[in-house]
Amino acid sequence: MKLYDYPGVPNPRRLNIFMAEKGIKFPRIEVDLLKGEQLTADFRLKSPNCDVPVLELDDGTCISQTNAIARYLEARHPEPPLFGATDQEIGLVEMWNQICFTNGFQAVADLFRNGPDWFDGRALVGPHNYDKIPALVERGRQRIMNFYDDLNQHLAHRSYLAGNNFSMADITALVTIDFAEWAGVAMPDGHEHLHLWHQQISQRPSVVANS
Amino acid sequence: MKLYDYPGVPNPRRLNIFMAEKGIKFPRIEVDLLKGEQLTADFRLKSPNCDVPVLELDDGTCISQTNAIARYLEARHPEPPLFGATDQEIGLVEMWNQICFTNGFQAVADLFRNGPDWFDGRALVGPHNYDKIPALVERGRQRIMNFYDDLNQHLAHRSYLAGNNFSMADITALVTIDFAEWAGVAMPDGHEHLHLWHQQISQRPSVVANS
């Protein structure tokens, strides 16, 4: 098996933290996103949405989409469980992973891709070109601030986002927040629960190794 | 257990088809979306993103987000598997479920919620109010047309979207296409693989019972 990867950008970072938690390693092939290598016809055969990461299995089957590769790895390497240890946790982890991705991650992506010139005509990840919509920058910023508020409130009585253990939902939220900070929208002062959770998660070896 | 539901709208329809495939039924409580019952403070305690469906467990725990409820049900009622029967299928189903949701479902939602007056200030599902962005209507339409093209090509040599069996990915794609048609963007003529797949899936008893 081999992993098509581009270190440092948000979705590959999510998968790399996930793999580090499970102690999984694969040979890596770097796809240079700055050169547009993800948009070639050859790479699209491996990744229909032209994104990384992609896991190529020994029979040539390719799995793309971060959550999908993570689900495959969870099935093969169940310990430690990162999508929930009980039926109830399995539901709650998916719930919070999805809420964080939709309300947080995609909001940062809107902010990030609809502003700078270098995304002209590339407002969305994928094989198709779409013009930027400048109004999405300000809406992205509003959504991120609301995401911080909501998450701070949710974490008032919890150590982790979903259930009693660290999970993929925490990974998605952490990477989203670091992505937002990098894009210029840092966590506001005074969100003590959110700051404490972020500080503790950031100390995990899997996160330190992928920072 | 009980299910907070609003029949006929796309995400509840996804879950109802999923449950029908597994033969699962719960007592239902209708949340009247047209009256805004999903936006009350009481309902937000059950569904932090103010959306349906929500499954309330016997201990009072609430799971929202369609994929999350479906994951919980898959863990408790594994047969027939709708998130993949093998490790590889587990990865591929999540991959295509995610691609169809992002590139299809969310595109239709953009088209649908950024046009009509009745969504003024409610361009996004959730507890927060956001103004409409009119440019998302046309971009939504472009994305849906590209989604049809991509799916037609993917289905050229397949009976189902992911692996060898009907799965949640097929449910998401079917509901997305019917949602798009309802919103005025029907499948174009000439996409024979897509039309054939849609016709066959639409005949399943689970879909007929939720049409």
What pLDDT, on a 0 to 100 scale, did the predictor assign at position A11? 98
Residue from A168, A173, A122 nearest A152 by CA:
A173
Q: Among A48, A76, A104, identify where a domain stops.
A: A76
Does the residue B151 lie in any domain? yes
Asked if residue A148 and residue A46 are part of one domain, the reply reads no
What pLDDT, on a 0 to 100 scale, did the predictor assign at position B113? 96
pLDDT one-digit tens code per residue, A1-22: 999 999 889 999 999 999 999 9
pLDDT along chain B (211 residues), means of 10: 95 98 98 95 96 98 98 98 98 98 98 91 95 97 98 97 96 98 96 98 98 93
Asked if residue B149 and residue B67 are part of one domain, the reply reads no
For helices A192-202 and A135-154, give the axis angle rounded to 10 degrees: 90
What pLDDT, on a 0 to 100 scale, did the predictor assign at position A116? 82
The closest CB to that of A135, out of B69, B75, B135, belongs to B135
Asked if residue A187 and residue A117 are part of one domain, the reply reads yes
Does the residue B138 lie in any domain? yes
What gap in Å lies between CA A193 and CA A176, rounded to an integer?
16
What pLDDT, on a 0 to 100 scale, did the predictor assign at position B117? 86
DSSP secondary structure letters along chain B: -EEEE-TTSHHHHHHHHHHHHHT----EEE--GGGTGGGSHHHHHH-TT--S-EEE-TTS-EEESHHHHHHHHHHH--SS-SS-SSHHHHHHHHHHHHHHIIIIIHHHHHHHHSSSGGGTTB-SSSSS-B---THHHHHHHHHHHHHHHHHHHHGGG-SSSSTTS--HHHHHHHHHHHHHHHTT-PPPTT-HHHHHHHHHHHTSHHHHTT-
What pLDDT, on a 0 to 100 scale, did the predictor assign at position B118? 83
Q: Among B76, B104, B134, identify where a domain stops.
A: B76
Does the residue A210 lie in any domain? no
Residues of chain A found within 8 Å of residue B99, distances taken between Cβ atoms: 48-49, 65
Does the residue B211 lie in any domain? no
CATH number of domain containing A7: 3.40.30.10
The closest CB to that of A139, out of B69, B76, B130, belongs to B130
Residues of chain A found within 8 Å of residue B94, distances taken between Cβ atoms: 65, 67-68, 71-72
User: What does the block give as tokens for B58?
Assistant: 């016997």
B91/A69 CB distance under 8 A: yes
Are B82 and B66 in contact, with CB atoms under 8 Å apart?
A: no
Average pLDDT taken over every residue of chain A: 97
3-state secondary structure of A130: strand
pLDDT one-digit tens code per residue, A151-188: 999 999 999 999 899 999 999 999 999 999 999 999 99
Extract the runs of DSSP E, i.e. beta strands, from A31-90. Answer: 54-56, 62-64
Asked if residue B99 and residue B49 are part of one domain, the reply reads no
CATH number of domain containing A187: 1.20.1050.10
Q: Among B76, B96, B126, identify where a domain stops.
A: B76
pLDDT one-digit tens code per residue, A28-46: 999 999 999 999 999 999 9
Does the residue B106 lie in any domain? yes
Asked if residue B93 and residue B135 are part of one domain, the reply reads yes
User: What does the block give as tokens for A204?
Assistant: 């995990």
Extract the runs of DSSP E, i.e. beta strands, from chain A. Answer: 2-5, 28-30, 54-56, 62-64
Q: Which residue of A has its CA nearest to B76?
A: A87
B95/A63 CB distance under 8 A: yes
What pLDDT, on a 0 to 100 scale, did the predictor assign at position A103? 98
Asked if residue B97 and residue B70 are part of one domain, the reply reads no
Asked if residue A105 and residue A188 are part of one domain, the reply reads yes
The closest CB to that of A133, out of B83, B103, B139, belongs to B139
Does the residue B170 lie in any domain? yes
The size of the A-B interface in CB pairs under 8 A is 112
Residue in the block written with tokens 């049409």: B211
Q: pTM here? A: 0.98
Residues of chain A found within 8 Å of residue B72, distances taken between Cβ atoms: 87-88, 90-91, 94
* A37, burial (CB in 10 Å: exposed 0-12, middle 13-18, buried 19+): middle
User: What does the block give as tokens for A18?
Assistant: 């996930």
Phi/psi of residue B46, nearest 5 degrees: -90, -30
What pLDDT, on a 0 to 100 scale, did the predictor assign at position B176? 98
Q: Which residue of B has its CA nearest to A126?
A: B103
B88/A72 CB distance under 8 A: yes
What gap in Å lies between CA B113 and CA B176, rounded to an integer?
15
Mean pLDDT of A108-114: 97
Does the residue A160 lie in any domain? yes
Asked if residue A175 and residue A93 are part of one domain, the reply reads yes
Residue numbers of the domain that contains A47: 2-76
**pLDDT confidence of A118, banded at 50, 70, 90?**
confident
Amino acid at A197: W
β-strands A28-30, A2-5 pairing: parallel
Rounded to the nearest angstrom, the gap between the alpha carbon of residue A13 and the centroid of all alpha carbons in its chain is 7
β-strands B2-5, B54-56 pairing: antiparallel
How far does the CA of residue B141 sit from the closest CA of chain A (Å)? 12
ipTM of the complex: 0.97
Asked if residue B34 and residue B105 are part of one domain, the reply reads no
What pLDDT, on a 0 to 100 scale, did the predictor assign at position B121? 92
What pLDDT, on a 0 to 100 scale, did the predictor assign at position A117? 86
What pLDDT, on a 0 to 100 scale, did the predictor assign at position B28? 97
Asked if residue B110 and residue B186 are part of one domain, the reply reads yes
Asked if residue B102 and residue B70 are part of one domain, the reply reads no
Number of domains in chain A: 2
User: What does the block give as tokens for A211?
Assistant: 């920072």
What gap in Å lies between CA A30 and CA A27, rounded to an integer?
10
Q: Which residues of B169-201 are buried (b: 16+ CB within 10 A; e: fewer)?
A: bbbbbbbbbbbbeebebebeeebeebeebbeeb
A95/B64 CB distance under 8 A: yes
Asked if residue B164 and residue B91 are part of one domain, the reply reads yes
Residue from B145, B157, B122 nearest B39 by CA:
B122
Q: What percent of chain A has pLDDT over 70?
A: 100
Does the residue A211 lie in any domain? no
